Amino acid sequence: MIELDARRLMCPMPVIKTQNIIKTLVSGDNVRVTCTDPGVMQDIPAWCRINGHTVLKTEEIDYEYILTIEVGSD
Amino acid sequence: MATQRKAVALISGGLDSLLAAKVMLEQGVHVEGINFYTGFCVEGHTHAIRKKDKAKPKRNNALWSAEQLGIKLHIIDIIEEYKDVLINPKHGYGANMNPCLDCKIFMVGKAKQWAEENGFDFIITGEVIGQRPMSQRKDTMPVISEESGADDLLLRPLCAQNLPETKPEREGWVKRDELYDFSGRTRKPQMALAEKFGFDDYAQPAGGCCFLTDKSYSVKLTDLWASRGKRDYEIDDIMLLKVGRHLRPKPNFKLIVAREEGENNFLQGYKKQFITLRTMSHKGPLTLLDGTASDDDLKLAAQIVARFSQGREAEEVDVEVTDNGVHKNFTVKPLRSDEIEDAWRV
Ligand code: SF4
């Protein structure tokens, strides 16, 4: 599992960071992104839907928003 | 069968770029979107800072547009490079601090570079002649094409019929007679086309795609530059200009006073970088002090902060000032509301 710390970044920066790390990965890899801007709960899933990745899990723990993503094939 | 051509579309999140991309898709072109983040974009979730806005989270319209179109969207961070565009715009500013023409030239140039790197054939934008006073005029359209380096690889599907033929039209990659001839400030043709394509619930930003078209934001930015004696900024500066009440009681310092709980929480994140003031005897907002301040200045700042606390009518309010982990305490009489000068408000 790859970890990405996107705490204290405001949208769309966490989306950009997620996109940039996914570019370096291959299909089937998993990434866990930890954020503090609640906007990510909307924006990262939208970005994943558009670009063919799957959000496996979303969690909200102590004001942190954590998304686990499986990288898609394209 | 002819090879399918590829276009990269500048997607701002507004209706025009949505339509332009759709027109290309209808012609069988492969389209992917590109969206640039300057730091000033209204598409950020800065509004999520304010607690009252959290109840209805706002979508990112660029992502929404891409989803409607069924295309990929690449979001590019241009915060650093954009500084030069904003600080030294060759073509100047619009009504506020918006360097729209230079901004467009820069973005189209970046899109051109992206297209080359990713094997795309041409670039499209949702520009319409006469739609915006600064960047979308008949005489500025060729300036954008030329100065961005995109030249005749830049196609504006919504007004192409009013412009000279571009390479994608000449080569038959797209059909010119199925492009449009929109012009002027009217939004009617766009709305009709949106209806034809079945788009509703699209975003209609009033001023433009970024905070730089906003008057009060521009005033704050100009004040920031004037106070520092140089035109420069960091991403934190841009963010803080969107948050809180800004007061400059003296040229050497400014106060950023949280207006509600959401802003209070947001400003907490900046406690290490700034001198902060908190009222101790009464509930009150977290305040950041940007600049340098003598003890007299700090006392004045404390009186102002006390004014915005629940102790505003009290004889005395205790205020704690923290600078680099070192605390100082002041007991002050809150300023009266008529002592908060209008000229202080940035
Ligand atoms: S409104 Fe802002 S983002 Fe849009 S063209 Fe003008 S300067 Fe650029």
Residue B168: inside a domain: yes
Interface contact flag, B63 A41, Cβ < 8 Å: no
**Residue B238 within any structural domain of the chain:** no
Q: Is the CB of B132 under 6 A from ligand 1?
A: no
Distance CA A47, CA A22 (A): 12
Catalytic residues of A: 11
How far is the alpha carbon of A15 from chain B, nearest alpha carbon, in Å?
Answer: 8
Are residues B77 and B188 both part of a single domain?
A: yes
- Which residue in A has a C-alpha nearest to residue B49's C-alpha? A37
Which among B211, B228, B254 is the end of a domain? B211
pLDDT in tens, chain B (346 residues): 578 999 999 999 999 999 999 999 999 999 999 999 999 987 655 555 666 555 556 788 999 999 999 999 999 999 999 999 999 999 999 999 999 999 999 999 999 999 999 999 999 999 999 888 777 888 899 999 999 999 999 999 999 999 999 999 999 999 999 999 999 989 999 999 999 999 988 877 655 678 999 999 999 999 999 998 999 999 889 889 988 999 999 999 999 999 988 889 889 888 889 999 999 999 999 999 999 999 999 999 999 999 999 999 999 999 999 999 999 999 999 999 999 999 999 9
DSSP assigned state of A15: H
Which pairs with CB-CB distance under 8 Å and at least 24 residues apart come from A18-22? A18/A44, A18/A47, A18/A69, A19/A47, A19/A51, A19/B74, A19/B75, A22/A51, A22/A53, A22/A69, A22/A71
Contact B143, B104 (CB under 8 A): no
pLDDT score of A38: 87
Picking from A39, A46, A51, the nearest residue to B72 by CB comes out as A51
Cβ(B73)–Cβ(B34) under 8 Å?
Answer: yes
- Classify residue B230: in a domain, yes or no: no
Number of structural domains (chain B) is 2
Q: What is the pairing mode between strands B287-291 and B275-279?
A: antiparallel
In which residue are the tokens 């996109």 written?
A19
Whether residue B42 is contained in a domain is answered as yes
Contact B51, B91 (CB under 8 A): no
List the beta bridge partners of residue B74: B34
In this structure, the answer to whether residues B20 and B75 fall within a common structural domain is: yes
Question: B40 in a domain, yes or no?
Answer: yes
pLDDT value, residue B112:
98
Residues B198 and B254 in one domain: no
Same domain, B166 and B119: yes
Residue B261 is predicted with a pLDDT of 87
Domain of B89 in residue numbering reads as 6-211
Strand order through the sheet with B154-155 = B73-77, B30-37, B6-10, B122-124, B154-155
pLDDT at position B74, please?
97
* ipTM of the prediction: 0.94
Q: Are residues B190 and B292 in the same domain?
A: no
Question: Is residue B47 located within the same domain as residue B190?
Answer: yes
CATH value at residue B49: 3.40.50.620
C-alpha of residue B210 to centroid of ligand 1, in Å: 5
Relative to beta strand B287-291, strand B30-37 is unpaired
Question: Residues B202, B144: one domain?
Answer: yes
Residues of A in contact with B118 (CB under 8 A): none
Distance from Cα B209 to the centre of ligand 1, integer Å: 5
Work out whether strand B326-332 and strand B6-10 pair parallel, antiparallel, or are unpaired: unpaired
Which residue's CA lies nearest to atom 6 of ligand 1?
Answer: B100
In a domain, B224, yes or no: no
Q: Where are the domains of chain A?
A: 2-70
- Do residues B180 and B160 lie in contact, with contact meaning Cβ atoms separated by under 8 Å? yes
Whole-number percent of chain A with pLDDT over 90: 84
Residue B49 has a pLDDT of 67
B206 Cα: distance to centroid of ligand 1 (angstroms): 12
Give me the residue from B46, B67, B73 closest to A10, CB to CB: B46
- Report the top-level CATH class of A2-70: alpha beta
**Please, what is the average pLDDT of chain A?**
94
Rounded to whole angstroms, how far apart are CA atoms B280 and B66?
Answer: 49
Pick A11 or B123 by higher pLDDT: B123
